[in-house]
Structure 1
Amino acid sequence: MKHKTKLLAALALSSLTANVAAAETELTVYTAVEAEDLARYAETFNASNPDIKINWVRDSTGIITAKLLAERDNPQADVVWGLAATSLLLLKSEGMLEPYAPAGVGDLDAKFVDGDNPPAWVGMDAWVAAVCYNTVEAEKAGLTPPTSWKDLTDPMYKDQVIMPNPNSSGTGFLDVSSWLQMFGEEGGWEYMDGLHENIARYTHSGSKPCKLAAAGEIPIGISFAFRGAKSKADGAPLEIIVPSEGVGWDMEATAIVAGTANVEAAQKLVDFTVTKEANEMYNTGYAVVAYPGVAKPVEHFPDGLLDAMIDNDFEFAANNRAAILKEWQSRYDGKSEAK
């Protein structure tokens, strides 16, 4: 009887240890998703996966991308959930992503899925450039609304514009790479030279220029449209302007980091990120999502914005990222805010 009791105790302890181990599966997830959304994402995932804990490492797109590249020989992340597709294309070219076709990936819009089989990454949502224009502050300063990107080089707007630094912000990088595509390389840098004359400062966040414009700290913030719509819905005196030349855009995407020791848990997370339920969550922060039919109309989202999205060359943006950022920094970094 004594031996049987010891055996049962040992089995119970073994079972308890296994359950604790299962409950303590942890994933380090690098993300550039807006900080206020992360708890909601984790809570929804954990409702069906209570045995997996997400440890978020959150920063702006450029910083997360640089961190991943610096760690390529000793990866610290298991999953990237919510990073610009242009960044993930770069990581893919460096062999840093573990290809995986999540369950249900065939339900997504094909343009949100990496073309390889199995895909190296899958998209979540898209964010689109726009200009946030504070009508009250602009009137005080005697400004008239711009209708194009090139209007923003008018001397009337000197020190009245804030935009994101592309080295730290994915929104800033999509702006710069889109201008180089729209205006050509020489014309793009000439445009940015003129714009720089009117820039008050460069921020390290893509949403911050619009938040500052909404708060009346600057008349014009180059940001992304959904942030403007959200601020306007909260009562800010904003006009959200879609420049006539077209607007850049990028998508947030998800991938498994090659070399992770937690492959099974990482796959479960990526499976969740492509579900209809997850895309419904994305739609509370973005007007364009990967799952067809999910996106609902967004209050104050500017008319014509989706039609104005350029035919973005993601390969160009990814392959030339380092050179573009180096050139930008050498020309304009003197007006960047302190980190």
Structure 2
Amino acid sequence: MSRLSLLPRAGLVSVLVLLASCRIESAAPSDAPASAAREGTPSGDVWVYSSMYQHVIDALDPLLKEKLPNVQVHWYQAGSEKVASRLEAERAAGAVRADILATSDPFLYERLAREGAFLRYASPNVLRVPRSLLDLDARYAAMRLSTMVLVHRTGAPPPPASFADLGGEGWKGRAAVGDPLTSGTAFTWAVFIQAKYGEAFFEHLRAKGAIVAGGNAAVLQKVESGEVDVGVLLLENALAAKARGSPIDILWPEDGAVVIPGPVAIFSTTHNAVAAQALVDVLLSPEGQRIIVQGDMHAVDPRLEGPRGQPGLETLMTRSQPWTPELVELGLTRGGNIKETFSKAFSR
């Protein structure tokens, strides 16, 4: 993990030269035309398709106006699944409006990257990002991290220690999980769980009466209401709920939390590569990353603390299951099978 702030001036210059000329461990060169890099001040319109929460987008807007005063940033904000559906329709029509994609579906990014949909761009700020959260050919890079943890209703019987415990006898009828058929974050969690415990784990969950609750909001509601005692939930949702007085406790599972990168990428069809690259730089800048933390997510800048007093990035990575090429391949090539296995387990 590299930090620009720790590099001597000569070292920093050397790294930036490498970034601009060849593929290295952490990044690759931009595919933007050389003439574009000489155009000067970024200006014009940029469309961002994003699943980020609206309040995070609202907080980013003043920063973008300050840093990019001549750029008009337009947002299409929706859940990752809706963004993906809109993109598929636009790509089929040969008219992708988006310049930048910023959702939380890492498998979608890998598929689109393999299809040649993204412009290669190595922002200098990616030097701070852990290698496991980068595409090493610089087609996309994580800009925010969401994390699946356990939440336990305050005052309920002692909590489970791990995700694996949810398939045990002690939690029969007392746990809720999201539905990977409708929730992108629940799907990523299911990919990790199947890789770690096998597809039979879903059968164990169903046999122990686990409730499939749709998305994260539904899981939270079931825990808060007392319908269940424990749920699998995004950390950002749990932190926001606790801040408004929700009777829940956050638990870090012993078998590793599931970190879900929210990457950012520039489409190769963009008509404004200069402004798009400048916007990506702002999102990955210390100022942009602080706004991510204020939105209850972890930044990818290791110098920043975690949200609401949570540990920062380095500790988060030690508490989570690692992303591997095998996991990416599993979600990308066998995602449909995982959804089918889950569906069959809970339809019996």
TM-score > 0.5 by shorter chain: yes
Percent identity between matched residues is 20
Q: Which consecutive residues of structure 1, in runs of 5 or more, have no partner in the other structure?
A: 1-21
Q: Give the Cα separation in 2 of the matches to 1:23 and 1:151.
A: 52
Q: Give the Cα separation in 1 of the matches to 2:250 and 2:44.
A: 44
Matched with 2:109 is 88
Matched with 1:10 is none
Q: Do the aligned partners of residues 287 and 29 (structure 1) sit closer, same or farther apart at CA in structure 2, a change above 3 Å counting?
A: closer
Q: Secondary structure at the match of 1:72?
A: helix
Q: What is the Cα deviation at residue 155 of structure 1? A: 5.3
CA contact (8 A) 1:128 1:250 kept: yes
Matched with 1:113 is 134
1:277-288 aligned at under 5 Å gives the runs: 277-286=287-296, 288=298
Moved more, 123-132 or 145-154: 145-154
Moved more, 268-277 or 52-61: 52-61
Q: Which consecutive residues of structure 2, in runs of 5 or more, have no partner in the other structure?
A: 1-40
TM-score using structure 1 length: 0.77
The answer to whether 1:57 aligns with 2:69 is no
Matched with 1:258 is 268
Kindly report the root-mean-square deviation, in angstroms, between the aligned alpha carbons of the 2 structures. Answer: 3.1
Q: What is the Cα deviation at residue 331 of structure 1? A: 4.1
Matched with 1:292 is 302
CA deviation profile, 1:131-177 (whole Å, cap 9, x unmatched): 111124xx4xxx54222223212455455433222244332122111
> Which structure: larger Rg?
1
Counterpart of 2:65 (choices 40, 46, 57) is: 46
Matched with 2:99 is 78
TM-score using structure 2 length: 0.75
Q: Do the aligned partners of residues 106 and 96 (structure 1) sit closer, same or farther apart at CA in structure 2, a change above 3 Å counting?
A: same
Q: Do the aligned partners of residues 333 and 235 (structure 1) sit closer, same or farther apart at CA in structure 2, a change above 3 Å counting?
A: farther
Q: What is the Cα deviation at residue 212 of structure 1? A: 4.7
Q: Do the aligned partners of residues 150 and 110 (structure 1) sit closer, same or farther apart at CA in structure 2, a change above 3 Å counting?
A: closer
Matched with 1:249 is 259
Code of the aligned partner of 2:59: R
Matched with 1:165 is 179
Q: Give the Cα separation in 2 of the matches to 1:331 and 1:104.
A: 39
Counterpart of 2:236 (choices 217, 223, 226) is: 226
Q: Give the Cα separation in 2 of the matches to 1:181 and 1:319.
A: 8
Moved more, 150-159 or 70-79: 150-159
Q: Give the Cα separation in 2 of the matches to 1:299 and 1:193.
A: 37
Code of the aligned partner of 1:101: A
CA contact (8 A) 2:119 2:266 kept: yes
CA contact (8 A) 2:132 2:324 kept: no
Q: Secondary structure at the match of 2:294?
A: coil
Q: What is the Cα deviation at residue 249 of structure 1? A: 1.5
Counterpart of 1:26 (choices 42, 45, 55) is: 45
Q: Do the aligned partners of residues 331 and 112 (structure 1) sit closer, same or farther apart at CA in structure 2, a change above 3 Å counting?
A: closer
CA contact (8 A) 1:83 1:254 kept: no
Q: What is the Cα deviation at residue 279 of structure 1? A: 0.8
Matched with 2:165 is 151
Counterpart of 1:126 (choices 127, 142, 145) is: 145
Q: What is the Cα deviation at residue 213 of structure 1? A: 2.6
Q: Give the Cα separation in 1 of the matches to 2:103 and 2:176.
A: 24
Q: Give the Cα separation in 2 of the matches to 1:330 and 1:297.
A: 35
CA contact (8 A) 2:216 2:237 kept: no
Q: Do the aligned partners of residues 100 and 168 (structure 1) sit closer, same or farther apart at CA in structure 2, a change above 3 Å counting?
A: farther
Counterpart of 1:325 (choices 336, 341, 346) is: 336
Aligned residues: 302
Q: Do the aligned partners of residues 305 and 29 (structure 1) sit closer, same or farther apart at CA in structure 2, a change above 3 Å counting?
A: closer
